[in-house]
Structure 1
Amino acid sequence: MSTVRFSLRLTLLCTSMLSVTPVFAQTADAPPRDAGSGSGTAEAGRPDDIVVTGARLQAEREVDAKRQISVISDSISSDEVGTLPDFGLGEALDRVPGVSTIQNNGRGESQFLSIRGLNADYNLVEIDGVPLPANELGRRNVSLDVIPSSLAQRIEVYKSTNATMNGNAVGGTANLRTRSAFDGKGDLFVGGRFDIGKWENERVRHDSTPSGQAELVVSDTFGPDRKFGFVVSGSYFRRDSSSLNSAIDSYNYFNPTTGAKLDPLKVDISDANPAPARRRWLHYDNVRQRYGLFGKLEFNDGIFFRASLTGGYFEHRNNEERQSNILVANGNPVAASITPTSGTQNSANAQVDLVEYDQKRTIRYGDFHAELTPSDRLFLNFDLNYAQATYYQDARLATYRIANNNNLVYTYDLTPGGFTYFDMKNPDFAFNPANYKQYEYGTTLDDNKENALTAQANAGFNSHDGDRGFGIQAGGYARFLDRKYDKGVDNYRPVSGTNFLLSDVFSDVPYAPYNGRGQEILFVDPRAAEDFFSSNPNGFAPNPSSAAGSIQSDYGLTEDIYAAYAMGRFATDRLTLTAGLRYEKTDLATTSFNLQDGDFVYGQRTQHYGDWLPSAQLTYDVTRRLRVRAAFSKTIGRPNYDDLAERATITTDSDTGDVRISSGNPGLKPRRSNNYDLSFEYYLSRKTLFSVALFRKEISDEIINVRNQSDEMFDGQLVSVTRVQPVNADKETINGIELNAIVSKLDFLPAPLNGLGFSANLTLLDPTPPSVTMSDDVTRRQLSALVESANTVANVKLFYTVGPVTLQGAWNHRSPMLLTVSTSDPLNDIRYDTSDKFDAQLRVKFNRNVTVVGQIKNITNERPERKTGLDFRLLREQLDNGRAYYVGAVFKF
């Protein structure tokens, strides 16, 4: 019966909903290679627009692009990509309607893509219609901060899908369209930008150096009749700064009358007094650098044949020194001292540790693309792409501790929602490096490499944007991916009888956190710690767990995807209807060391599945100005790589002996989603757009991590063992609405107010989150929200131009976002609090070639916060990154 209902629903959709091309656009812009066009015509306009056009022209281009792209979409043009101090592609995407991004640990640049509030696991990132390999540990996602934003002619975000497009995009697809030498008239162009910047939060243990960036683009056409062309570009970015993470990692709850500790799983703790159990400061000195090289060689005879050979190399390096100070309560606070906002702790542990990270992520690719147009109505194209992504991290660590000690008595001062202050009764003891004994020294290596070979071909008849009547298009796709991950652990502990102290390697650099009430963080000198370890080879013994740690996380993975599609199209002057069917077959194999009866056994697991992915779209021009679009599609979301490998990562708490075993699930199924979209677009003029989009996603086989805790025999002892494994959960439904307005100039206002313009968008989600099984293997609870998804996302850009001067401000808002989920205690769920980011820019055009730019990043000095506890009332982490100031220029010749 369900099959009948689905068939009927699909039939109705195919007759009333499908993808279109704009009818009233006189010159249609080419969709991406995989989105249904074979013309490959470049965007009208010159490549130098990235440095000379202002916010107003960029807003008009957004309006034009929304008209021209054949699916429901939004975009940002090259003009805007160059205006704010964007570190990479992620920050540029932050200003696309319905798009937000997840920052790198809340401290770095925008890293993972969120479309319509849905987390990065739902979305796909492409360059010129080809998916990029993943350059992040574990996840399938692309780290956007590796890719320079200057590479893009335009970034298009597709929110509906047709049969020509990759099916692995439940949320949507971001496609970066690169520059062409044949843009505009194909004349010689030399342009770029440079600026120098300073972050308020400078490095503490090192001399700070300027931040900034430089970009250069050169393009031209040459040869007989100028049928050949080239584009070359280079970019460099450097951020020199520091960040502070102030954290209360966990809380306990106490009876307000008796002071007795309460079990949140057994009693109501809504009136209980919370008490912090662990305070932690993490200070980061960072130098982040990105290098980008891009080149394209093209041929275009203007009639029959067009081809390009493209190559790119992008590298991101992060040199990070993380210094951590931790204070852990030993037992419970004094019962009589506990109030809703304060208490006294009579015993505690303390720890000072250092981790130096040398991290490098890269993406490199080569692409050959060819297009044939034997006639005005017939086209064929072919694409072959080879890409490689790497992640390499070398971490060196040193740890120093004070065991349970009554000299670490402290009182705490708690403000719900704010940072909890700890005041030491004996600060001379707590902050004396001679009281901290060395616990460990070692290195950890993460080495990940992913190779992807992709080929695709398309052919179509009468299916260009401007064609009328019936048309057809078909094509094939193949992608062969190989991924290998290797972890190395080399850990040492001081031998019995040694007395190695923090004072031996102490870095006497004064630093008092802004929220520390004068307390200073203790720092380890990394070079002194390394030299001390090398000078005392007989004082350290290898940790026996290093051997297991070096193999238990390793895995290899191959994933072969084969796809084919066919799509029909019918168009009149006002109506465009398309319907298509795509089939994707996936062959997956993973190899890893699987834990069996206490031993690691090497083995291989395979999985094979196929998906039929129907889609349908309709576009109807009700009037010259009002357009209606409707769409249906079925898409999938393949699991993350770490989740698929049958491996087991075992960690043991050195204080309690508790064991945590995180394992993969090679039988994990992909998410599958039915997607419905309805969009109303009102084009008041070429300068003004108002749109409303409604959408619904019905997702089955959602993927969540399940944690189960029990007492088990491990290494001959009865200990608490927590097992974590991803599983397919029940269904979830997401309903949403997206509002968008672009007004490039308020012409109706009197001068000088008519220089004002703005763009604004708002996305609202109404999800039904999935349920998780609690650690008792019986109880189920529904999550409070979707993981890593915000129910409200808003962007507002306001700009004012008078003569050669343009002033611009940008605001990005994101509502609270669930980050992690606990299956042992819901009060340990963690979410990001509301985020509001403000940036501003002033541009002064000196002449047609040079514009001077000044800008401020994070004007309000927003400190991202993570909350936990009942109704997320308690602060878990607060991250201070500071403001940034840049001055520079954009130029063209």
Structure 2
Amino acid sequence: MKCCTIRRGLLLLSTALSPAVLPSVAHAQDVPAASSPDEEIVVTGARLQAKREIEAKRAITVISDSISSDEIGTLPDFGLGEALTRVPGVSTIQNNARGEAQFLSIRGLNADYNLVQIDGVTLPANEVGRRNVSMDVIPSSLASRVEVYKSTTAAMNGNAIGGTANLRTRSAFDGQGRGFLGGRFDIGQWDFERTRGNRGPSGQAELIASTTFGPDRKFGAVVSGSYFRRDSASLNSATDNYLYFDPTTGTRLTSPTNDVSSAFVAPDRRRWLHYDNVRERYGMFGKLEFDDHKLFKAALTLADFRHTNDEERQSNLVTANAAVTSAANRYTNFSGVTATGGNVSNAAAQVDLAEYDQTRRMRYADFHGQLAPSDRIRADFGVNYAIATYRQDATFATYRIANTPSLAYRYTITPGQFTAFEFANPAVVGGAANYRQFEYGTNSDDNRENALTARANINVNMAGDDRGLGVAAGAYGRFLDRRYDFAVDNYRNTAASTLLLTPTLASETYTPYNGSDYRMLFVDPAAAQQAFEAGRSNFSPNTANAGGNVQSDYRLTEDIVAAYLMARYATDTVRLTAGFRYEGTWLTTASNTLRGGVYTPAQQGQDYRDWLPSAQADWDVTGGLRLRAAFSRTIGRPNYDDLAAREAVNVNSSTGAISITSGNPTLKPRRSDNYDLSLEYYINNDILFSAAAFAKRIDDEILTVRNQASELFDGQQQLVTRVRPVNAGRATVKGVELNAVIARMRFLPGPLNGFGLSANLTLLDPTPPEVALADGVTRRRLSGLFESANTVANVKLFYNTGPLMVQGAWNRLSPILYSVSTTDPLQDRRYATSDLFDAQVRLKLDRHWTIVAQGRNLTNFRPQRMFGPGFGLLREELENGRALYVGALVRY
């Protein structure tokens, strides 16, 4: 067996860095030649991944980090999002904290500030309202590597304040064009299984094949297919709100009017939400390539990705009657309130069902070509057409017990734990015959986005080994059309209706781990629909249906035209790059606006232009020490929902309160000046240490504000709350990143030199933006950046000995702010600190087959959502459970 090498993998890197795909990172340093056809790769798994990450960081000209595929050609984690959490400065937001990693946060900035690309092309968004691409739609087998660019050149898309994550797809000419067939399959089990329905296994299967053919093997083809299934359940234990009591007098305190930092608290309501989910992902990818190995190369790519989520949500809640005795300023039905508990003499209860059938889909066709008439001149061009869709159909059924003394209970509070309720008459809250049906209905979200993208670039003397002066220029255009339609068909029970929960009760029940033997009542969806169809006379249409079917709809077009000019001067040790990018944006929105109680069509638009300078310097201080510095100006365009000139009216059925949520088609994009400094020390091919400092100054931050005012509504002067996004003040972000990669600890004696390590730490010091309170005048600074962690830490320790590889990965995120209130700062919500631990074991049977066992969330971490004074009150705790998978990797 020959000496360890990863040269075959590095050929993939040199191809991926071709300017035909992304000119901004085309100018890599020299990469070692590929191995001979007969040389066997003996570096595998986590070690191979670590070595590839070191080489990629050294080769790419911008400040970046990456995650690489393994020897099978797939990312060695559970999925694309999970793999990216190992990248320095990158964290992810899960789908409602219950699914796979969905959105990327780069250097503390949430997905609204970042860009996700595939082979250098920005794809349309498959989420309602946001610009973001959901990572859980993209199969991990698609990416041979994912590069996260943290500094920007003029050749790169300017809509990336936080950074750009670019997925590199496989080429048939990787590995000198030798044929490749590989894949993985596994089967798994979540220890929190579905409670209802036919349970099935979880697992995934991926297959990748590539070959070259024709005269001189100038043609190549890559095809891949993937399937993923997760069959599991989740539980959300929620204490949605707390009431505050003066600890001395027992009188009512309210925030923000009173200081409640030392008050006794009592839960406003207790709720369990039980989710049964079947998530499936399907992916097909094909690429046809041509490379004459001299002058011209081209590729045509077709891809289709689909993610479905079949969810049944069952909810049980109890709500305290929070009536107030005005004269005494006391909650009428609360007594004996202390720091650890109290009594409630009157309450209401509710059981409800929500079924969701959700499909996200992304399809695209991409053609790009590259022409190299000489060693120093390269030109490339490409066109991409993509369609992203989101469809969700939902069904709801609700059953209630009105406020009654029969639901009296005592509650017990234990800090950091879910509040315990002890009912005086448990048979009432647990009796289906006591719940009267309140409503039944359906709604649907239908979103479609089409995007046509074209790009062309020319580079002269800009390759990594070119010296002297070089120039690059290019043009870019993206033409987007987005449509959103919402439909609602809701019915409320008539006063004479006597429909009960009993005939629709499901046979299954569930006992929450923190429920003190309480068994949740479940609604059978089929029985609920049958009861509705059979008893139509007991229902009347909700009067809000007419407005609900038109008020949220919109159509949006956005045309972006860009051009850039960039120059580079390079010596053997220093490279200086500078340039300007121009981006012009033309936007139109069409929606229905409420005027005089009637929704009428309206169209608005705006346009803006940006000049975006950038500069970068790289200095090889020594053979292994590199210093980088960069400046850039970037923008962050507003989300689509924020731009749509629509107005959604909500009238509270109980209080009559009126709120109107609207978009703002005059929103300006965020604009940011970014400063980066990076020091990288490459001890050898196995060891990297790096440290980076960065600062971002973001102007025209976008925040949602609430304003209350008396205005004419439905012919009467009424108090109306308007919710609207606006451009606010400035936010700044400062931080440092520390990174260490040791592919092999050769300095350790004996068998210990099989250990390897990958560790990184990101620390942020942000100055969050200010938000206007409901009075429209008072402003307060947020407690943190939205959907961002101030501390991100990862440690992956692995060990290779012979055919065995063992690795464990730990990920920590500091608290993350995810919801902001404009009326009461204590209603801000954030995730508590999270710690996740995953592990993997591989046993290589021969050069073709490897057995893999892996575990996810092995410590059974339960995400917690906190709010209240000092974020010290537990609002929600989510249980997802552990997952264990066993399977195999195959390569021929």
Give me the TM-score of the superposition, normalised by structure 1: 0.95
- CA spacing shift, 1:625–1:787, aligned 2, 3 Å: same
CA distance in 1, matches of 2:386, 2:83: 23
Does residue 654 of the first structure (1) align with residue 653 of the second (2)? yes
Relative distance call for 1:719 and 1:524 in structure 2 (3 A) is farther
Deviates further, 771-780 or 75-84: 75-84
The whole-number CA distance in structure 2 between the counterparts of 1:745 and 1:51 is 13
Whole-Å Cα distance in 1 between the matches of residues 195 and 15 of structure 2?
54
Q: Secondary structure at the match of 1:36?
A: helix
Instruction: Confirm or deny: 8 A CA contact 1:31 1:70 kept in the other structure.
Output: no
Contact 1:361–1:389 (8 Å) recurs in 2: yes
Residues 74, 183 of structure 2: 8 Å contact kept: no
Alignment of 1:628-667 (within 5 A): 628-667=627-666
Match of 2:272 in 1: 281
Distance 1:29 1:135, change over 3 A: closer
SS of corresponding position for 1:524: coil
Q: CA deviation at 1:715?
A: 4.7
SS of the equivalent of 2:104 reads: strand
Correspondences of 1:254-293 after superposition (within 5 Å): 254-293=245-284
Shift of 1:31: 5.5
Q: Give the equivalent residue in structure 2 for 1:791.
A: 790
- The 5 A counterparts of 1:382-397 are 382-397=381-396
TM-fit CA distance, 1:38: 6.1
Cross-structure match for 2:522: 523
Aligned residue pairs total 869
* Shift, 1:537, TM fit: 2.6
Q: Which amino acid aligns with 2:91?
A: S
1:50 to partner: Cα distance: 12
Task: Look up the equivalent residue of 2:721 and give its one-letter code.
Answer: T
Matched, 1:180 2:171: yes
Give me the whole-angstrom Cα distance separating, in 2, the residues matched to 1:658 and 1:718.
Answer: 13
**2:298–2:368 CA contact under 8 A, matched in 1:** yes
Shift of 1:416: 2.7
| 1:67 partnered with 2:58 | yes
Q: Which residue of structure 2 aligns with residue 15 of structure 1?
A: none
Instruction: Measure, in 2, the Cα distance between the counterparts of 1:80 and 1:828.
Output: 48
Structure 1 residues 554-606: Cα deviation after superposition (integer angstroms, max 9, x where no partner): 00000000000000000000000000000000000000011223221210010
C-alpha distance in structure 2 between counterparts of 1:277 and 1:496, whole Å: 27
Of residues 423-432 and 843-852 in structure 1, the stretch that sits farther from structure 2 once superposed is 423-432
> 2:296 & 2:236 partners in 1: Cα distance?
56
Q: Taking structure 1 as reference, are residues 26 and 273 closer, same or farther at Cα in structure 2, changes over 3 Å only? A: closer
Distance 1:757 1:55, change over 3 A: same
Report what 1:851 is aligned to: 850
Secondary structure of the residue that 1:527 maps to in structure 2? helix
User: What residue number does 2:140 align with?
Assistant: 149
**Amino acid of the structure 1 residue aligned with 2:228:** F
User: SS in structure 2 opposite 1:168?
Assistant: coil
For the 8 Å contact 1:39–1:373, the answer to whether it is kept is no
> Does the Cα contact within 8 Å between 1:383 and 1:455 map onto a contact in 2?
yes
- 1:342 alignment counterpart: 341
1:111 Cα offset (Å): 0.2
CA contact (8 A) 1:29 1:65 kept: no
User: 2:189 & 2:160 partners in 1: Cα distance?
Assistant: 38
Residue pair 1:55, 1:80 contacting (<8 A) in 2 also: no
Query: Residue 253 in 1 paired to residue 237 in 2?
Result: no
Q: Summarize the alignment of residues 746-785 of structure 1 with structure 2, pairs less than 5 Å apart.
A: 746-785=745-784
Does residue 103 (structure 1) correspond to residue 90 (structure 2)? The answer is: no
Given that 1:49 and 1:79 are in contact with CA atoms closer than 8 Å, whether structure 2 keeps it comes out as: no
Tell me, what secondary structure is at the counterpart of 1:55?
Answer: helix
CA distance in 2, matches of 1:43, 1:655: 71
Q: After superposition, what is the alpha-carbon deviation per residue over 1:796-847, rounded to whole angstroms, capped at 9, x for unaligned?
A: 1100111110100011111001111111111100001101111000000000
Match of residue 566 from structure 1: 565
Query: What amino acid sits opposite 1:350 in the alignment?
Result: A
Partner of 1:599: 598
Q: In 2, distance between residues paired with 1:473 and 1:827?
A: 52
Residues in 1 aligned to 2:377 and 2:162: alpha-carbon distance in whole angstroms: 32
In 2, Cα distance between the equivalents of 1:35 and 1:462? 12
Q: Which moved more, 1:200-209 or 1:225-234?
A: 200-209
What's the counterpart of residue 36 of structure 1?
Answer: 24
Q: Report the Cα distance in structure 1 between the residues aligned to 2:350 and 2:705, rounded to whole angstroms.
A: 30
Work out the CA distance in 1 between the residues paired with 2:636 and 2:33.
34
SS in 2 for 1:203: coil
The answer for the alignment partner of 2:671 in structure 1 is 672
Contact 2:376 2:461 in 1 (8 A): yes
How far apart, CA to CA, are the structure 1 residues paired with 2:355 and 2:553? 22
SS at match of 1:429: helix
Larger mean Cα displacement after TM superposition, 538-547 or 379-388: 538-547
Distance, in Å, in 1 between the alignment partners of 2:373 and 2:23 is: 20
Provide the residue aligned with 2:462 in structure 1.
463
Q: Which amino acid aligns with 1:580?
A: G
Secondary structure of 1:643 counterpart: helix
Residues 76 and 83, structure 2, Cα contact 8 Å, conserved in 1: no
- What is the CA deviation profile of residues 484-503 of structure 1, one whole-angstrom value per residue up to 9, with x for unaligned ones? 00000011122331200000
Indicate the SS of the match to 2:194. Answer: coil
Are the equivalent residues in 1 in contact too, given 2:710–2:717 (CA < 8 A)?
Answer: yes
What are the Cα deviations for residues 749-782 of structure 1, in whole angstroms up to 9, with x where unaligned? Answer: 1111111100000110001111111112221111
1:835 partner letter: S
Residues of 1 paired with 2:163 and 2:841: CA distance? 33
Q: Secondary structure at the match of 2:216?
A: helix
**1:49·1:78 contact (CA, 8 Å) conserved in 2?**
no
> Helix, strand or coil for the counterpart of 1:507?
coil
Q: Is the 8 A contact 2:74 2:144 kept in 1?
A: no
CA distance in 1, matches of 2:24, 2:712: 59
> Corresponding residue for 2:375?
376
CA distance in 2, matches of 1:45, 1:673: 41
AA partner of residue 809 (structure 1): G
Letter in 1 for 2:101: S
Equivalent positions of 1:490-501 (< 5 A) are 490-501=489-500
Letter in 1 for 2:235: L
The alignment partner of 2:52 has SS state of helix
Q: Is the 8 A contact 2:14 2:31 kept in 1?
A: no
Q: How does 1:122-133 map to 2 (within 5 A)?
A: 122-133=113-124
The letter for the 1-side match of 2:22 is D
**Counterpart position of 1:296:** 287
1:138 and 2:125 aligned: no
SS in 2 for 1:383: strand
Partner in structure 1 of residue 832 of structure 2: 833
For the residues of structure 2 that align with 1:49 and 1:343, how far apart are their CA atoms?
Answer: 70
Go from structure 1 to structure 2 and tell me whether the alpha carbon gap of 1:333 and 1:151 turns closer, same or farther (over 3 Å shift): farther
Q: Which residue of 1 aligns with 2:728?
A: 729
Note the 1:603-622 alignment, pairs <5 A.
603-622=602-621
Instruction: In structure 2, give the amino acid aligned to 1:371.
Output: Q
Match of 1:17 in 2: none
Shift of residue 182, structure 1, vs aligned partner = 0.2
Does the alignment pair 1:229 with 2:220?
A: yes
Letter in 1 for 2:827: N
Structure scoring higher RCO (CA < 8 A, sep ≥ 6) equals 1
Deviates more, 1:235-244 or 1:499-508: 499-508
Judged with a 3 Å threshold, the aligned counterparts in structure 2 of structure 1 residues 203 and 718 are, in CA distance, closer, same or farther, namely farther
> Which 10-residue stretch deviates more, 336-345 or 387-396?
336-345
Asked whether the equivalents of residues 850 and 889 of structure 1 are also in contact (C-alpha less than 8 Å), the reply is: yes
Matches within 5 A, 1:808-823: 808-823=807-822
User: How far does residue 541 in structure 1 lie from its aligned partner after superposition?
Assistant: 1.9
1:8 corresponding residue in structure 2: none
* Contact 2:743–2:756 (8 Å) recurs in 1: yes
RMSD across aligned C-alpha pairs, in angstroms?
Answer: 2.1
| Shift in alpha-carbon separation, 1:365–1:453, aligned structure 2, 3 A | same
Work out whether 1:412 is the aligned partner of 2:399.
Answer: no
Trace 1:202-217 onto structure 2 (pairs within 5 A): 202-217=193-208
In 2 relative to 1, CA 104–536 (structure 1 residues): closer, same or farther, beyond 3 Å?
A: same
Equivalents in 1 of 2:645, 2:71: separation in Å? 44
Distance 1:171 1:383 in 2: 25
Q: For residues 51 and 409 of structure 1, do their structure 2 counterparts lie closer, same or farther at Cα, with a shift above 3 Å needed?
A: farther
CA change 1:791–1:81 in 2 (3 A) is farther
Q: Deviations over 1:484-534 (max 9, x none)?
A: 000000111223312000002001313110000111111000000011112
Letter aligned with residue 682 of structure 2? Y
Q: Alpha-carbon deviation of 1:87?
A: 5.0
**Other-structure match for 1:5:** none
Q: 1:51 to 1:163 in 2, by over 3 A?
A: farther
Distance 1:529 1:713, change over 3 A: farther
